[in-house]
Amino acid sequence: MWKTVLRRILIMIPQLIILSILVFFLAKMMPGDPFSGQINPNTDPKQLAALKQAAGLNDPAPVQYARWVGNLFKGDMGTSYIQHVPVTSLIADRAVNTFWLSLLTTIICYAISIPLGVTAGRHQDEWQDQTVQIFNYITFAVPAFVFFILGIWLFGFTLGWFPISGSVSPNASGFWGTLGSQLYHILLPAILSALITTTSIVQYLRTGIVDNKVEDYVRTAHSKGVPDNVVFNKHILRNSLLPIASSFGTVITGLLSGSMVVEMVFSYPGMGKLFLDSIGQRDYTTLTALILIFGTLTLLGNLLSDIIMSIVDPRIRIK
């Protein structure tokens, strides 16, 4: 198994290189350079050219690329054109927020979708299943932003149960106070985005159970005198959870990099909101850094899925 994992990691290296090249040229093609906005507009163009020369902007592309990658390894992703702070620190603040939001969303998402999928699969075509199906249609069909706005209106505005924007209350003090306030702030966005993420997991699980129920090995288990509920939990459910487990990697990176809508609607200061803000402000250094991060996360997510799969599925593990 370790060989498989190691090989899988090695395969990621060329993928990462290709990703970085793409991002690099994307950045090159964007208007502006590190001096835009930082320099007095009255600066002598000759002096500017000299500065550019000194900064290596006239070097051949491969040299610049190598320097850029070198800086990346040092944690230097450039300076934001707009905010005039290093992109790394800009993103780092937001990444923490997004991380906590995504983590909570993932937990809630699985906590909701697994029981729903199991119920639907177990009671296939009965009222329980039909109820879950209706729920699924809603979460699938309603656009995310409509869903969020309705959620804010209902739970935040009308009922007043949750705060509707920000990541922490300005009045919060002390470690526990701050933590509590932070949790309180991400609860509603996490629940809402968990709900719209459940669709595919519920559907996968339900289909898995329905398919496995009629497999011959389930009949064999019954023929051994294994009680019905044990057959369900030990044979049917366990085998149906396999694809769910392996989808974990993609689900969590999907949440990490796909949190734009929820962060925008809730004005939550995370990476998604930063991304949208950067587009609005044409903050290209931040933008390319974020694209690079999202791309890397996607690759890591797939890696994680593959690793989980190779741990839980003996057919892949033993080879």
Partner 1 sequence: MAKEIIQVKNLKVHYPIRSGFWNRITDYVRAVDDVSLTINEGETYGLIGESGSGKSTTGKAIVGVEPVTSGQIIYKDVDVTKPSNRRKLNYNKDVQMIFQDSMSSLNPRKRIEDIIAEPIRNFENLTTDQERTRVQELLDIVGMPSDAIYKFPHEFSGGQRQRIGVARAVATNPRLIVADEPTSALDLSVQAQVLNFMKHIQQQYNIAYLFISHDLGVVKHMSENLAIMHRGRLVEIGSRADIYNHPMHIYTKRLLSAIPMVDVENRIKHKKHRQEVELEFQNDQSKWYDKNGCVYPLQQVSGNHWVALPKDEVIQEELNEKGRD
Partner 2 sequence: MEKQSDLLLDIQHLHTAYRLQGKFYDAADDINITLKRDEILSVVGESGCGKSTIAASIIGLYDHKNTKVTGDIMYNELNLVGLNESLFDKIRGNKIGMIFQDPLASLNPLMRVGDQVAETLYYHTDMNEQERHNRVIELFNQVGMPKPESTYAMYPFELSGGLRQRIVIAMAIACKPEVIIADEPTTALDVTIQAQILDLLEDIQRQSHSGIILITHDLGVVAETADQVAVMYAGQVVEKADVKTIFENPLHPYTRSLLNSMPQSEDEDEDLHVIQGTVPSLQNMPHEGDRFAARIPWIPASAHEQEPIMHEVEPNHWVRCTCWKTFHFQDEVGGE
Please give the residue ranges that form the binding site for partner 2 (CB under 8 A). 215-217, 219-228, 235, 238-239, 242, 313-315, 318
46 binds, among partner 1, partner 2, none (CB under 5 to 8 A by kind): none
Enumerate the β-bridge partners of residue 86: 79
Dihedrals φ, ψ of 125, to 5°? 70, 5
* Cβ closest to partner 2, residue 98 vs residue 212: 212
CA distance readout (Å), 7 to 158, 246, 295, 303, 306: 54, 18, 20, 11, 11
Q: In angstroms, what is the C-alpha Rg of the chain?
A: 24
Is 315 a binder of partner 1 (CB under 8 A)?
Answer: no
Q: Closest CB to partner 1 among 13 and 54?
A: 13
Q: Tell me how far apart the alpha carbons of residues 289 and 292 are, in angstroms, rounded to a whole number.
A: 5
Q: Closest approach of Cβ 6 to partner 1, in Å?
A: 8
The residue within the footprint of partner 1, chosen from 1, 5, 7, 140 (CB under 8 A), is 7
- The total of other beta-carbon atoms located within 10 Å of residue 65's CB is 16
Q: Which of 144, 242 has the CB closer to partner 2? A: 242
Shortest gap between Cβ of 215 and partner 2 (angstroms)? 7
Q: Which does 7 bind (CB under 5 to 8 A by kind): partner 2, partner 1, none?
A: partner 1
What are residue 76's phi and psi, to 5 degrees?
-105, 110
Query: CA separation (Å) from 103 to 186, 187, 193, 281?
Result: 10, 11, 11, 29
Q: Which does 227 bind (CB under 5 to 8 A by kind): partner 2, partner 1, none?
A: partner 2
Among 1, 6, 22, 150, binds partner 1 (CB under 8 A): 6
H-helix or E-strand spanning residue 108:
helix 87-122
Note whether 232 and 122 are within 8 A (CB).
yes
Binding of partner 1 by 74 (CB under 8 A)? no
Q: Which does 6 bind (CB under 5 to 8 A by kind): partner 1, partner 2, none?
A: partner 1
| Residue 314 identity (one-letter amino acid) | P
Please report how close the Cβ of residue 12 comes to partner 1 at its closest, in angstroms.
16
Q: Residue 13 or residue 29: which is nearer to partner 1 going by CB?
A: 13
User: Does 179 sit near partner 1 (CB under 8 A)?
Assistant: no
Minimum distance from residue 84 beta carbon to partner 2 (Å)? 56
The DSSP output letter for 10 is H
Residue 86's φ and ψ, nearest 5 degrees, are -60, 135
Give the residue with the Cβ less far from partner 2, 44 or 216. 216
Least distance between partner 2 and beta carbon 315 (Å): 5
The residue (of 11 and 17) whose beta carbon lies closer to partner 1 is 11
The pairs formed by 212-217 with CB atoms below 8 angstroms and a separation of 24 or more are: 212/236, 212/239, 212/240, 213/121, 213/124
- The nearest distance, CB 8 to partner 1, in angstroms, is 12
Q: Collect all residues with Cβ–Cβ distance below 8 Å to 150 and sequence separation of at least 6.
A: none
Binding interface with partner 1 (CB under 8 A)? 3, 6-7
